[in-house]
Structure 1
Amino acid sequence: MNAPTPLSLTCFTLNTSHHIAHLVLNRPEAMNTMHPLFWRELDAALTHIHQSGEARVLVISSTGKHFSAGMALETFGSEIALDDSSPEGRAAIFDLLAGMQATFSKLETLRIPVIAAIQGGCIGGAVDMVTACCLRYATADAFFCIQEINIGMVADVGTLQRLPKLLPLAVVKELAYTGRRLPAARALGYGLVNEVFESAEAMLAAAMQCANEIAAKPPVAVWGTKQAVHYARDHSVDDALKQMGWLQGAIWSNAHVRESVTAMKEKRAGQFPGLTPLKNFSEFGQ
């Protein structure tokens, strides 16, 4: 049974079932473009998922022909006015971007793995978004485009920082300098996507199957694995090994290991405690 969510969302739907949170971009008529409400709702949804501890994996999918066409261009001409007329105005752009970057970074800092299921176009800000996810599945007609260069700006919400860790540097430069499309088949060859499917239905089914496999593992061990992989990506081997020692010491559970081994021998699903729900410090007391 789907668990109700207390969030009121316009740009997304969010349901959690069998410890799998499924967040769906649901504005296909607008090609799921991103505007301030999109960012507010995504931030709220990720915060809710992170704090509740109910979900053990998050699947992000979309509706319509394209996963997302990225930033809604009309936003720049109306709700957001970037002041380039003074040093003070230009300096304020830093803080504006920092807030947007922080929302996508929540996909990386989330306590659970994130799987992106991508159909059609994954353009501009959508590339920023999916590169912050753990796994990416795509349809055969999917493509990735660093659209920002085509509209006279630099990609600024994570693509140029995360993509070089996922693709060969020369390929990143080609895409970033030209705005060319990277088709799903080529993305698969480079390892940007884990698998390519002929239909969106098959892709989502595979994403859910993977999510079910992840959800069957001890959640705290999955959390620790995500922590270790990301730390190792950004640090030396020596530093990462030291961090691994402290991490393993913090989360090691003989009970989890015994239950995992016993469940394998008995050919049944393991039974593990969920992640502890979180509260902000300000929520405690009077």
Structure 2
Amino acid sequence: MTDPAATAENLQNLASLKVERAGHVAEVTLLGPSKGNAMGPDFWRELPLVFRSLDDDPDVRAIVLTGSGAHFSYGLDLPAMLPGWSEYLAGDAQAGPRTKFLAEIRRLQESVGAVAATRKPVIAAVSGWCIGGGVDVIAAADIRLASADAKFSVREVKVAIVADLGSLQRLAGIIGEGHLRELAFTGRDIDAARAEKIGLVNDVYPDQDAVLAAARELANEIAANPPLVVQGVKDVLSVSTEQRVEAGLRYVSAWNAAFLPSKDLGEAVQAFMERRAPQFRGE
């Protein structure tokens, strides 16, 4: 049996996440430290540690996932992550660097996958922006709730990247192929009303306090049920979905390891740094 003290120790001194408990409900809050809770190296290292620890804790029966401040997450922290990827993204990168990049993509996929893999139901409470990697993470949750000011974007196409951390695999079963293709091809932003209409979120609440209160109430309602039965329900619901997701993640990781380095990606990064519109040439 897991030692609760050891589990608690794993959740101390986190840089990007905060974990709190209330009864049988754990609350995980994104902290940044980058603006808008952007997801840098600390986040990708700590996310699986947190969710695996909570999965091992028999006292935790449901999990609320939310963001600190006004926004859930701006997504991948490009300035923090790109320097470590320079070897992989060079236009002349050979098999060695590309193989390392494949492993890096799969490491990030496993971080998000830890949210989906936990046996405890996960409820995402989203306010403000939820972009790119933020959508990957909430797609791995079981239930999504939003405040009226929430905005969502599968934005990777805007920076010359094929989304590879789960949105393209998990959202089809949540919002349907047509809506997913529209969001992924355009990279456009949608508001909470549209997100509710297409089924990305279950319900919309007036503000951040209201959505967080609703998520906590729902988590406590779930936690009041027989925990092993709830976990069994999640396991049964997830079995076919996660098999399909795993196959899709393996394919996209290989695709990006082979094709992600491009002149368009370099242009996207340069335009991001210079705060201008990119000019893509299909190169």
TM-score over 0.5 for the pair: yes
Contact persistence 2:34–2:40 (CA under 8 A): no
Equivalents in 1 of 2:117, 2:33: separation in Å?
28
**Match of 2:45?**
40
Contact persistence 2:16–2:33 (CA under 8 A): no
Q: How many residues align?
A: 234
Equivalents in 2 of 1:111, 1:79: separation in Å?
33
Matched, 1:139 2:150: no
Q: Aligned AA for 1:227? A: D
| Correspondences of 1:225-264 after superposition (within 5 Å) | 225-233=233-241
**Match of 1:52?**
57
Matched, 1:217 2:229: no
- How many percent identity over aligned positions? 36
**Match of 2:276?**
none
Deviating more after overlay: 24-33 vs 194-203: 24-33
Cα distance 1:166–1:92, how it changes in 2: closer, same or farther (>3 A)? same
How far off its partner does 1:87 sit?
2.7
| 1:149-205 deviation line (CA, Å, top 9, x unaligned) | 111111111011111111121211111111101211111111110100111001011
Equivalents in 1 of 2:119, 2:76: separation in Å?
27
**Match of 2:115?**
107
Contact persistence 1:28–1:66 (CA under 8 A): no
Equivalents in 2 of 1:27, 1:71: separation in Å?
11
Equivalents in 2 of 1:122, 1:89: separation in Å?
31
How far off its partner does 1:94 sit?
1.6
Report the secondary structure of 2:84's partner residue.
coil
Matched, 1:5 2:23: no
| 1:226-283 deviation line (CA, Å, top 9, x unaligned) | 00111254689xxxxxxxxxxxxxxxxxxxxxxxxxxxxxxxxxxxxxxxxxxxxxxx
How far off its partner does 1:29 sit?
5.9
**Match of 2:137?**
129
Report the secondary structure of 2:239's partner residue.
helix
**Match of 2:281?**
none
Structure-2-length-normalised TM-score: 0.78
Question: Considering only CA atoms, is the larger Rg found in Structure 1 or Structure 2?
Answer: 1
Q: Aligned AA for 1:159? A: S
Cα distance 1:63–1:235, how it changes in 2: closer, same or farther (>3 A)? closer
Equivalents in 1 of 2:83, 2:168: separation in Å?
26
Structure-1-length-normalised TM-score: 0.77
RMSD of the alignment, in Å? Answer: 1.9
Match of 2:79 among 68, 74, 78: 74
